[in-house]
Structures are given as C-alpha cells and as structure tokens.
Structure 1
C-alpha cells in the first residue's frame, strides 16, 4: 500500500515497487491522478491472477480513521495480506510561524502526522500478528533542520518521523521493520508551487543556497527527482534491508550537511 500515490514521490514509489514485482494498492484522495496512474498498468496480469503485479487504485482520505480501517480491510480481502506500507501522502502550507492560521496548522498535522498514525495503526497491527512486514514513512529533511516559513510542515514531519521510529521499536520483536526516508528538495508539484514564475532561476537558488533564508545549497548540485526517493524506499522495504529498522535515511544531495 502506497499513500499519496497519485503524483510526485508517491507515484514514483508505486512505479518502483511494481517494477520490483509487487502489486500495489495505490491510495490517494484525488481520483483523477489515481486513475491515470492505474491506467499505466491496465494490462491484464499474466494468467489473470488479480494479485500478480500492477496497480489497484483506492480512493481514500488518510485523515479519516474509520475510512482507513475499512480500506485496509478491503485491500487485504481483494489482494491478500499487506507486506509493505509506504506513507507518502502529505501537504505543505507555508507561512511565518507567528502568522500560521489554526486551519493551516491543523490541516498539515491531519495529513502529515495523523494520517501516518491511522495507516500505521491499521496496517501495523495486522503485520505484527503475521510476524512480518515493512513500513516506510516519507518524511523530510526539514524535520531535522529548521526551514523559514515551513514551521507547520517541519513540525508535522518531525512528529511523523519519531512516531515511525517508536513504532519500529515496538514492532521489532514481531519481525516488522519501520524506517523513514527524508527527501530534500525534489522536483514535484509541491516543490514547484514554492518557486513561482521563473522555475529555472528558483531551482538554481535551491541548488546554490540562500544565505538570506539561512539555507544551505545542495552539494551534489542537482534537485532530486522523485525516482531518487523511490529507489531509497524500494531498498528499505526489500529483503536487502532486512537488518535495518528505525533508520532515517536522508536523500537530499547533502543539503542539510546531515546536521
């Protein structure tokens, strides 16, 4: 199951997992992008087996606890036990901290933190009972390094990160691994919404850094692509990472100097 699968990093994660042979329950609250993603994998699976790979779309708002429980039940009835959960669904509301509205703060935490809690609770409980599973939460390097104008986003991602690590500690003896992938600036619609009109100039500012905003640039000299994040997720949910849990993997080109 991949949340926020309709676009950006979620869509890239979905493609990477399908390429690795998984059948993915792609979850998003927006049916349009979700349908477009599913259309990429619309061909009938080999032998007509409905669980033989590809994408199955499920419209879901992760802020709705009851809906999450129902969706997880439905997915497991239709596709079988969930072996992997990837939490990607997220929103960004930018504002100076002292000017944040109650609505922006609550909405940010509802998706970025409480949504992770809802899916992890529903799926993690079932994984623990079966004694196997892998959870990855896509966080942000903003959870570890302050960002001007991003207080709600950074705080929500920090909370989701620590929740996932605590979950990993609690479920470790059950054989369930829980990790975090923390991207830096990545070429997605969310990122481009911050750039305004001149995308090329804005990208250059991100790569070079912004002393006025107390922001270090990207030492590797490029903005991440969603596939860069997806590859890290695919590794952490695979058996190649079987001895890794509670880890927070920064995929940011060195932007935070791993502070």
Structure 2
C-alpha cells in the first residue's frame, strides 16, 4: 500500500454528489487513493471533476485533492440490485475490489406519522434501508473474500431518538443501523470491520430543505441549537451545527487503521444532541 494509515487505497463513497458524501470523498481524495463517487444524481460527475481540479482560495473546510489521487464518478441507484451489481462489477474490472466503502446515500422523507403516504414510506425504506443492505452486502462479500476491508455506513441519530415529523426517516435509518451491526458481527471473523457514523443536524441541502431550502438564518440556527420542547426535540449542547467536514473526519477515522480494533460501533457526531442514547 502507498499509504499505511488506511486499510486500502480503493475507496467507494455512495451519495457523493453533494453534502456529507462529497465531503467524505474529498477527505479520501486528499490522499494517494482511487476514489469512486457513486450517486443517482448526475451532478456526481461535476462533483468529481471539481474535486480533481486544482483550487485556489478554498474554504477552511475544503481539502485539496492529492495530485496522486484518481477520482472517478458513476451514476448508481443504490436501491436497485442490478445497478449496484453493475457498479461493483465495473469497479472491480477497472480498479479491483473496494478496500474501503463509505455508504452515505440517503433521502429525507418528512411528515406526520398519522398522515404518511405509503409511497413515501416505501421510497424512504427503499433508499435508506434496502440501499444499505444491497451496497454493504456486496462490498462485505468482496472484502471477506480478500480477508480485509473497512465499511462505514452513514446513518443518523434519528435512528435512536424519535422525532416528530420524521417517522419514515427514523424507521429507515434504524433498519439500516440494525442491518449494518448484524453484518459487522458476521464478517468480523473474516477480517472485515463495519462501523456506523450517525450525524445530527448538519449544514447540508437536506437540512436546509427543512427550512425552506435557503441557507440557515439566525432564527433557524437558534431553533436547532435550542431544541423544541413542544415536539420533544433536544437541542445541541455544543451550540453549533455540524459541517459536512466534521462527519467526514469521523468516517475517515473509523475507516483507518487507527480504528483497527473497532467494529460494530455507532459513532454519534451530533454535538451531544442525543445525550446518552
């Protein structure tokens, strides 16, 4: 390996068109790696191109791509078994099997549990839960055959703490979390580590959509930091909204050999929002 601090050099990141997934891809692309960005959103190609291009005057949370990194992009529907199979087959043919998989793909479906539409429920489960199963199952099988590998699934603190208006999302993330931990238990003796990172409120398009789709103003930020007793929502003790780079740093650690004796762990990156849950 060219870099001894990670399990391998062939990294796949799903949900990489933007937000947390793009930040995770950037973190790995700062090293001597083959980084494959997968997303159903065709903007994944622009994200990969921007990541590989030299940047001047980058924001403090941005990480420049290593000149020796190889960045690729592909449109993949994680909820479709054939799409996932083709993506892994093409990856293996071009670069070999993944050494590290970060599964960050997901969708937010909100609404009252009393009025939830069956189609929205099915879509949320299909992407967030079934997608996790399809992607991690194949990656884990390939890694088990090689006797090594690391998988990190980006879940949510909503999987553990009920949220008013987030019944489908919380249920889907809870299913994804439970499957991931069971998979981790099965493949641990085969040399494969599988962990979770569960973010709380993070400044992404998904969060902004909950506040009208615009950048968070002072009122929206205060509402998130303070919580809302009327809907039993806790605030954030650290008094800040996470940046995607905060989640990427946690993912990078769990994927690395620095976490070589950690598996089945669910790392909350939420500023203390879920307290001791």
- TM-score with structure 2 setting the length: 0.88
Does the 8 Å CA contact 1:136/1:236 hold for their aligned counterparts? yes
- Shift in alpha-carbon separation, 1:229–1:43, aligned structure 2, 3 A: closer
Distance 2:168 2:177 in 1: 14
Aligned counterpart, 2:25 = 14
Q: Does 1:161 align with 2:177?
A: yes
1:36 Cα deviation (Å)?
1.6
Q: Aligned with 2:210: secondary structure?
A: helix
Query: What aligned pairs does 1:90-169 form with structure 2 within 5 A after superposition?
Result: 90-169=106-185
Q: Residue 84 of structure 1: which of 100, 103, 111 is its match? A: 100
1:155 Cα deviation (Å)?
0.6
Q: Aligned with 1:56: secondary structure?
A: strand
Distance 1:140 1:152 in 2: 13
Aligned counterpart, 1:201 = 219
Distance 1:247 1:42 in 2: 32
Can you list the C-alpha shifts for 1:134-193, whole angstroms capped at 9, x where unaligned?
Answer: 011100001111100000000100110111110000000110000000000000000001
Q: Aligned with 1:105: secondary structure?
A: helix
Q: Does 1:40 align with 2:50?
A: yes
Q: Does 1:236 align with 2:254?
A: yes
Can you list the C-alpha shifts for 1:8-37, whole angstroms capped at 9, x where unaligned?
Answer: 0000000011113322110000112x1221
4+ long deviations beyond 4 Å: none
1:235 Cα deviation (Å)?
0.3
Does the 8 Å CA contact 2:45/2:74 hold for their aligned counterparts? no
Distance 2:231 2:220 in 1: 13
Can you list the C-alpha shifts for 1:68-108, whole angstroms capped at 9, x where unaligned?
Answer: 01110101111222101111110011111110000000000
Aligned counterpart, 1:48 = none
Distance 1:43 1:227 in 2: 19
- TM-score with structure 1 setting the length: 0.94
Q: Residue 219 of structure 1: which of 229, 237, 242 is its match? A: 237
Q: Aligned with 1:57: secondary structure?
A: strand
Query: What aligned pairs does 1:36-75 form with structure 2 within 5 A after superposition?
Result: 36-42=46-52, 52-75=68-91
Distance 1:133 1:195 in 2: 39
Can you list the C-alpha shifts for 1:34-93, whole angstroms capped at 9, x where unaligned?
Answer: 12211124469xxxxxxx523200111111101101110101111222101111110011
Aligned counterpart, 2:192 = 176
Does the 8 Å CA contact 2:157/2:274 hold for their aligned counterparts? yes
- Shift in alpha-carbon separation, 1:43–1:254, aligned structure 2, 3 A: closer
